Amino acid sequence: MQKIVPFLWFEDGKAQEAANFYTSIFENSEILNTVRYGEAGPGPEGGVMSVTFQLEGQEFYALNDNPQFKFNESISLFVNCDTQEEVDELWDALSESGMELGPGWVKDKFGLAWQIVPTILGEYLSDPGKEKSQRVMQAMMQMNKLEIEKLTQAYEGR
């Protein structure tokens, strides 16, 4: 059992829909458990109260509740991507019916913020050569969806 599990609060009964959506776009993902309301409520008997699911080995807990609390960008899920194809696929899926927020950031249709980031970016930005990392930062700030080729060109000074 995972010691720390992100707990996601969905409004309007969207927990099951969100879990199904997320597990459909990430490999090595699955729904682990669905808990339904009983006679005691507080939701309608038989309705989904919570869903536990796994994305790439990371466990998440999704709860259906009222719209009192909403997601905001102060918390996001950071996804390391090895290829441009992976960046493109996740970006397209998560931004559909959602919105692009800026360099590498997207908000999905449920309001959850994601950072879709090529793993090479961390290496480029932490390069001890200040000129290289600054060129990469400048290139990154011109993008919404991050493009590995453009980041590499900036890193190499092309």
User: In this predicted model, what pLDDT tens digit does every residue of 13-47 receive, in sequence order?
Assistant: 899 999 999 999 999 999 999 999 999 888 889 99
Q: Shortest CA distance to 17 belongs to which of 87, 97, 84, 77?
A: 97
What pTM does this model have?
0.92
149-153 long-range Cβ contacts below 8 angstroms, 24+ apart: 149/84, 151/118, 151/120, 151/121, 151/124, 152/120, 152/124
Superfamily per CATH, domain 71-158: 2,3-Dihydroxybiphenyl 1,2-Dioxygenase, domain 1 (3.10.180.10)
3-state secondary structure of 69: coil
- Out of 3.40.50.740, 3.40.50.1580, 2.40.50.1070, 3.30.720.100, the CATH code matching 1-69 is 3.30.720.100
**pLDDT for residue 80:** 97
Nearest alpha-carbon partner for 52 in 107, 100, 7, 101: 7
Six token digits for residue 115? 């950072």
